[in-house]
Structure 1
Amino acid sequence: MFLPRSRTIRGLLATVAAAALLAACGMPGSAADDEVTTVTFWSWTSGSQELVDRFNATHDDIQVAFEQIPAGTAGGYSKMYNAVRAGKAPDLVNVEYPQVPAFVAHNVIQPLTSRGVEDLRGHYPEWAWNQVALGGEVHALPINMAPQVLLYRADLFAEHGIEPPATWVEFRDAAERINAADPDTVIATLGNTDAGLIAGLAWQAGADWFDTSGGAWEVNSTDDASLEVARYWDGMIRDGLVNAEPVFAEKHIADLQQGRSLALVAAPWMMGNLSRFVPDLQGTWGVAQMPTWDGTPVAGNYGGSTYAVPEGADHPDEALEFARWVATSPEAVAAAAPVSSAMPADIQLYDAWRTALEEANPYVQGMELPEAALAASESVPPDWEWGPDMAQGFTSLMDEMTSAVGQPQGLENALHRWQDTTIEQLRIRGFDVGD
């Protein structure tokens, strides 16, 4: 059973008694005046420890105790759910955008509107704010975002006489030219188990897999936009123009190092993977806007996370103060930049991020990654919704993709099966699902 948001009567009486005692003593500068509140914070994302260290060094009245937990879908989210149910909730947790609706539906996190977060609305792109503003309440603060961009080997594109493609038709044309010149080389690798990647590509195409505007959960991963994406990539895989395999697995790393795979549908955070796995390729990469279906600039989102205050948190106001600092402070950007290339969601931090990232990370110097990411963030369609259980949803879609991608109409069939499975599972769990 979830804890109520109000304090217990005993807690209230204790607070009143302590305040009365302090007033009676009339001792300014006493230990109570200097009391430090310790906020417990759970996360797994790169840069979390650095953020905590910088905050603690610059704040006296609030200190943050950081606990590294497993990645969300690797056990971190289950740990959060169980802690809330057991009455042992931390004060602040890291929640990725796709999981926010589930945390809201199961009353795991508190609404924050009454705590004054609406003043931050103008700091974010509309689509990013929509990810946390559900049902008339704001439930989390966006921390970083991941607009899709195209990372490509600028040196090898130049050898082939190819410019970054503006449309998906041009992308295929470029792939055919590259493959004709060297049958062992493909233009890109498509993560064949990456449900988030496919969702981002569908988002870019104008799909909306979930819709609650009618008062029930509508599920549709087989609309025209989604199937156009599926058929396109099924054709690219069938014709040997892209590889379909897990990205940054041993085979993919070797393909990158040896110039056999030349591009990635990516997001700013992926620069950390490249600098880790192929450090010798520093200086060879370029970044461009995503190819689009009609030439109009548009990107999907491919990652990103929020900070949320769980139900039962002992120090919600202090936790939110730390969250606001991380979300809006140039100091936070500077603290995280040496270990993370993730883009802050607050667009007012763009200049600070660009400066800090390029100073701290030689791998991205000269690429103009921040400029490309900012332009991409401004083009993400605002109406995309996630379902009420994307932890299970992504697992299910990954399973479907693993068994189907590379087969005839594999991705298309995976989306059809996933839609049927998702609708069935939501109904079993008691969600109101439209016909």
Structure 2
Amino acid sequence: MFQRILAAVAAALLLASCGIGGGASGNDGDGPTVITYWSWISGSQELVDRFNATHDDVQVAFERVPAGTAGGYSNMFNAVRAGRAPDVVTVEYPQLPGFVTQRVVQPLEPFGLDELEPEFPDWAWQQTALGGRLSALPLNIGPTVLFYRADLFEEYGYQPPTTWAEYRATAERLRADHPDATMTNFGSNDAALFAALAWQAGAEWYDTSSGHWQVSGVDEPTTRVAEYWESLIADDLVTVGPTFEEQHVTALQEGTSLTLIGGPWTAANISRFVPELAGAWGAVPLPAWEEGGAASANYGGSSLAIPEGAEHAEEAAEFIRWAATSPEAVDAIAGVNTSYPAHLGQAEVWGPGIEAANPFVAGMNLPDAAAEAAATVDPDWEWGPDMTVGFARLVDETTTGLDRPGGLADALRRWQDATRAQLRQRGFDVSG
């Protein structure tokens, strides 16, 4: 993926990485080298504290920045351009291609991190190995699962749905049995979630295999997803609104919204907003489109990258390697962050660790559900070169399209056409 389009950019970055300069971190010549790490992810301070306690030659100074799309990415871009780059940054997978095409991060082959490829799922590695070069190291991933009120399902005599047809049938039964309840809330403010649902169905919003950018928001799988959720909305089987805002939280508290689609990290959000429901939740793989089928997608997760101009790239690579591969790193954040590790070895110890450290997760079946989902993620997915703008546009379009039949499909077509125009305006070769 991205081989023809990004290879030239990646090669230029590889050459540039040999002349590292700038940055504000360092040492006094006698003590350890101090590197800076910018992130907003829960557990980052605990991660840094554990690294610092177990390493003598390198120490990490953690600086919390706003969430990426809330200003953190702009801060990173500006710091690199001003010659004040930090040594390590967190970058989510949808945004990484933008960091590569705009030459904000450097390739990681000079530091030997490409040797770790066999230790990660192929699909996760593909999210960071762009244009034939490794631009970041996967840290955690979001194999999509279904959280459900296990206590209410048992009380009502329901079984967790294994297909989307069963999901709708359960929603219809719930509506008939309990008219004040719905199956879930369709997050009108979450373009990444809709992307995950389309990904699971087999969609390909972006495709560079032809050597050009191909953009499609109305392919058959995406249309299938849109029509499915439009029908649930039209029949009042689900509510619509921002996820985890007041109305949604109230429905969760009152037991009138019975499921949530999310990544393993969503468990931490549930525990934060409805802590009184500890022990009430279960987790299963996402319903499949076909009976007996198994497919998931990635929703969330992030990677670690070294910006251009980082003053201590070698030391930064040491920290990245440890954070992404050491069981100690998983243990350090288990009590505050339920994200699923991308590294296969870390994933093996994550389940017992997360259940022991987080009582809310204990008994939820999250480790098994996440592992099964991670093994069935469709690898044929690419992100566009500017998903910050792409997601914002998709939210704008879909929010206005949810109030009428066919509105979601129309919104996706408008998103597709606007995205193609934007990429052409930026000089990308776009077909279609």
Shorter-chain TM-score range: over 0.9
What secondary structure does 1:314 align onto? Answer: coil
Contact 2:284/2:365, CA 8 A, preserved across alignment: no
Contact 1:96/1:305, CA 8 A, preserved across alignment: yes
What secondary structure does 2:431 align onto? Answer: coil
Are residue 351 (structure 1) and residue 337 (structure 2) matched? no
What count of residue pairs does the alignment treat as equivalent?
A: 413
> Of 107, 111, 114, which residue of structure 1 is paired with 2:110?
114
1:325 aligns with 322
After TM superposition, give the deviation of residue 9 of structure 1 in Å: 11
What secondary structure does 1:226 align onto? Answer: helix
After TM superposition, give the deviation of residue 4 of structure 1 in Å: 4.4
Contact 2:20/2:311, CA 8 A, preserved across alignment: no
Identical residues among aligned pairs (%): 55
Alpha-carbon distance in 2 for matches of 1:9, 1:408? 56
Alpha-carbon distance in 2 for matches of 1:9, 1:187? 54
Alpha-carbon distance in 1 for matches of 2:339, 2:362? 15
> Of 213, 220, 225, which residue of structure 2 is paired with 1:229?
225
> Of 45, 58, 63, which residue of structure 2 is paired with 1:49?
45
* CA-to-aligned-CA distance 1:305-340 (integer Å, 9 cap, x gap): 000000010011100110110100111001011110
CA gap of 1:375–1:64, structure 2 versus 1, over 3 A, is: same
Contact 1:41/1:90, CA 8 A, preserved across alignment: yes
The AA in structure 1 aligned to 2:275 is P
Alpha-carbon distance in 2 for matches of 1:386, 1:272? 26
* CA-to-aligned-CA distance 1:38-92 (integer Å, 9 cap, x gap): 1111000001000001101110000001100000000000000011111111111
1:412 aligns with 409
- Structure 1 runs of 4+ aligned residues shifted over 4 Å read none
1:196-215 paired onto structure 2 within 5 Å:
196-215=192-211
2:242 aligns with 246
2:81 aligns with 85
> Of 424, 428, 431, which residue of structure 1 is paired with 2:428?
431
1:229-378 paired onto structure 2 within 5 Å:
229-295=225-291, 296-378=293-375
> Of 165, 171, 175, which residue of structure 1 is paired with 2:171?
175
After TM superposition, give the deviation of residue 351 of structure 1 in Å: 2.7
- The structure number with the bigger radius of gyration is 1
Alpha-carbon distance in 1 for matches of 2:343, 2:300? 15
Alpha-carbon distance in 2 for matches of 1:374, 1:48? 23
Alpha-carbon distance in 1 for matches of 2:159, 2:171? 12
* TM value normalised by structure 1: 0.93
What secondary structure does 2:165 align onto? Answer: helix
Alpha-carbon distance in 2 for matches of 1:142, 1:407? 40
Structure 1 stretches lacking a partner, 5+ long: 11-30
Contact 2:20/2:308, CA 8 A, preserved across alignment: no
The AA in structure 2 aligned to 1:300 is A
After TM superposition, give the deviation of residue 356 of structure 1 in Å: 1.5
The AA in structure 1 aligned to 2:113 is V
After TM superposition, give the deviation of residue 8 of structure 1 in Å: 7.8
Are residue 422 (structure 1) and residue 419 (structure 2) matched? yes
Structure 2 stretches lacking a partner, 5+ long: 1-12, 23-27
2:3 aligns with none
The AA in structure 2 aligned to 1:5 is S
* CA-to-aligned-CA distance 1:215-260 (integer Å, 9 cap, x gap): 1111011100000000000000000001111110000000001011
What secondary structure does 2:304 align onto? Answer: strand
1:185 aligns with 181
Alpha-carbon distance in 2 for matches of 1:6, 1:361? 43
After TM superposition, give the deviation of residue 346 of structure 1 in Å: 0.5
CA gap of 1:375–1:269, structure 2 versus 1, over 3 A, is: same
Alpha-carbon distance in 1 for matches of 2:290, 2:322? 40
Alpha-carbon distance in 1 for matches of 2:358, 2:233? 34
Alpha-carbon distance in 2 for matches of 1:331, 1:53? 11
> Of 11, 17, 22, which residue of structure 2 is paired with 1:5?
17
After TM superposition, give the deviation of residue 158 of structure 1 in Å: 1.6
Contact 1:144/1:345, CA 8 A, preserved across alignment: yes
| C-alpha RMSD of matched pairs (Å) | 1.6
What secondary structure does 1:166 align onto? Answer: coil
Alpha-carbon distance in 2 for matches of 1:369, 1:289? 9
After TM superposition, give the deviation of residue 198 of structure 1 in Å: 0.4
What secondary structure does 2:383 align onto? Answer: coil
Contact 1:234/1:406, CA 8 A, preserved across alignment: no
1:218 aligns with 214
What secondary structure does 1:95 align onto? Answer: strand
After TM superposition, give the deviation of residue 272 of structure 1 in Å: 0.7
The AA in structure 2 aligned to 1:178 is L
Alpha-carbon distance in 2 for matches of 1:402, 1:223? 20
2:382 aligns with 385
Alpha-carbon distance in 2 for matches of 1:412, 1:158? 36
CA gap of 1:316–1:160, structure 2 versus 1, over 3 A, is: same
CA gap of 1:9–1:361, structure 2 versus 1, over 3 A, is: closer
2:8 aligns with none
1:16 aligns with none
> Of 392, 396, 404, which residue of structure 1 is paired with 2:393?
396
What secondary structure does 1:350 align onto? Answer: helix
The AA in structure 2 aligned to 1:208 is E
After TM superposition, give the deviation of residue 266 of structure 1 in Å: 1.2
Alpha-carbon distance in 2 for matches of 1:256, 1:208? 33
* TM value normalised by structure 2: 0.93
Alpha-carbon distance in 1 for matches of 2:20, 2:244? 50
* CA-to-aligned-CA distance 1:137-172 (integer Å, 9 cap, x gap): 010000000000000001111222111111111110
